[in-house]
Amino acid sequence: MRTMYKLIPFLLLAAPALTAQDKNAAGYPITPVPFTSVKVNDHFWGQRLKASREVTIPLAFRKCEETGRYDNFVKAAHPSESYKVEGYSFDDTDVYKTIEGASYSMQTYPDKKLDRYMDSVLVLVAAAQEPDGYLYTARTMNPLHPHEWAGSKRWEKEEILSHEFYNLGHMIEGAIAHYQATGKRNFLDIAIKYADCVEREIGDAPGKEIRVPGHQIAEMALAKLYLVTGRQKYLDLAKFFLDKRGYTSRKDEYSQAHKPVVEQDEAVGHAVRAVYMYSGMADVAALTGDPAYIRAIDKIWDNVVSKKLYITGGIGALHHGEAFGKNYELPNPTAYNETCAAIANVYWNHRLFLLHGDAKYYDVLERTLYNGLISGVALDGGTFFYPNPLESDGKYKFSQGACHRQDWFGCACCPSNLSRFIPSLPGYIYAVKDNSIYVNLFMGNTAQLEVNGKKVNLRQVTEYPWNGDIRVEVDPEARQAMALKFRIPGWAQNRVLPSDLYTFADQKQAGYTVQVNGKPVKSELKNGYFTVDRTWKKGDKVTLHFDMQPRVVKAHEKVEADQGRVSFERGPVVYCAEWPDNNFTISSVVLPENPAVEVIDRSDLLNGIKQLRTGAQSLFMENGSLQAKNVQLTLIPYYAWSHRGDGQMAVWLAQDLSAVKLGK
């Protein structure tokens, strides 16, 4: 049902025009094609985008109304000692993140009512901003008795709990998306004013305070603000926040302050904070060329991909501290894998691709996207996971007191983060460098790109991820020499990850073919890309085929939780066994050494999926003796679990008797 947005009753102010000093800065070595240039019309992702547009974003806005997020801005515009400051010190960010997602969505699906609604909300936000730009309702609404996490004065508790810089980061991210989608400056100017306030008061110069973000994100946001405005001071502030980390009051692993960032080589501490920081480090590495930053961020990435990444692309193994575990510490039923961490993992790998131009980063990004990220939101867009475990007994309440997705959380970072990420997806498909176009993700879309100053239209047609056939139609303005670089996924090259953390355990060999206008072409892969370099004309077509068959995966021998077990995947999709499809105890199953796997088309189930089915045995005790019965084990995509009630689920399934938990 289409949501009718009701205007927040405040007068809309006109936004000033772009000023001369606001101009794009030099950016990454590779330039992403922005979300404003790509329209996704894909069946798989079209459903997700529709659910986000019609359910997730309206739900998030409604929750901002119902939970007093908007009221906080109204109160901050009219401060009073009588106000009791409640909730979290970062509740403002739910408003910013939802506006960000709505802005992305409107680029594909214009909505005048939604546009006016956001403008009315932004009037509330602008009215809450103090004259010097400071905007933090948790303090401003009652300066004498602010939020208990805020401290008695600005920035006092930033490195612990206040989240003042975190609020700034999400404000900037939302404001830039809103500006790019609408061309309006009303949100961007608010964000610039707050950024200028922070830049005036924080730094090395006399009279300034030295503070670093408690919860990182301002670093990557300030780098983005530099790219949009061309103002060097924002990039300098981002680098300052990173350079000073480990030299202030905090020196703990939880906040990645245990050593200077350029000396770090292992992912530690709170996973979301960490990977937002790593994304900011990638920004600084790319935009400054600082070799110390490049070396550090590459080492940390290698550590995650070789020792700390779940098969679903999830990160952050531990509930305690919402943190990375030790190397190879990847438990399944108690896996935390916060949805926000999966989103952060996409941001990080996207930046590393833009820096290095290697397809391996998109291999990780794609794995996260199709599995550990979209598992965080229901197919209808209305309920959410905070953690994303790889096993459930239907009893352990891993999801904030439940075994299933919920419609909101008191700490609502995951729902609002999903509301902003899903609509931004069109901006991850393509990238451009000189006369080259990178084709990184496979989904139905139309795109208008610019290569060497000339317009090029692309149309991609595919049923990916359910089959491996992709057609790309090329339509340049005129005959044009350029190189199309197609990512050949690691799984199509018989590689699970760009590390030995997981490997294929079967004897199958995947392959791929590339044709131009129906004729096979050859090219040596370079950095994971198949390059077709030619003079293109209107009507040219490239056809890719990836062999897409079920594969059996095993984990590195040091991953204790997965020993004696295997998992299944097909293409980019990881599978799991869930109780509604199997009338036996899932943990009691033992698989044969070489399981034969059948692919079953279930267009009627879970918005349309491909099931996997294989023979197995279910073990159980009867009259004091071990018994076995032959069963058909059915698997569904991991992202689709927990839509049919609470019960057993497992990604890793026993192939050795030592890994079996007997049924009754």
Question: Each residue of 481-517: pLDDT tens digit?
Answer: 999 999 999 999 999 999 999 999 998 999 999 999 9
Can you name the residues that pair with 569 across neighbouring β-strands?
A: 551, 574
Q: What is the pLDDT of residue 5?
A: 58
Q: Are 319 and 341 in contact (CB under 8 A)?
A: no
The H-or-E segment that residue 191 falls in is helix 186-201
pLDDT at 107: 86
pLDDT (0 to 100) of residue 410: 75
Q: What pLDDT is stored for residue 2 in this prediction?
A: 39
Phi and psi based region of residue 16 (left: phi greater than 0; alpha: psi -120 to 50; beta: remaining): beta
Structure tokens at 219: 């670093």
Give the tokens for residue 343.
């989103």
Determine the distance from the C-alpha atom of residue 365 to the mean position of all C-alpha atoms in its chain, rounded to a whole number: 8
Structure tokens at 268: 């530690």
3-state SS string for 477-529? CCCEEEEEEEECCHHHHCCCECECCEEECCCCCCCEEEEECCEECCCCCECCE
Of 316, 339, 346, whose CA–CA distance to 32 is shortest? 346
CA distances, 345 to each of 329, 348, 453 (Å): 18, 5, 32
pLDDT beneath 50, residues of the chain: 1-2, 4, 8-24
The residue type of 66 is E
Among residues 184, 185, 213, the alpha carbon closest in space to that of 198 is found at 213
The catalytic residue positions are 322, 413
The whole model's pTM is what? 0.96
Q: How confident is the model at residue 24, as a pLDDT?
A: 47
In the prediction, which pLDDT does 10 show? 34
3-state SS, 580-609, equals HHCCCCHHHEECCCCCCEEEEEECCCCCCE
Three-state secondary-structure class, residue 118: helix
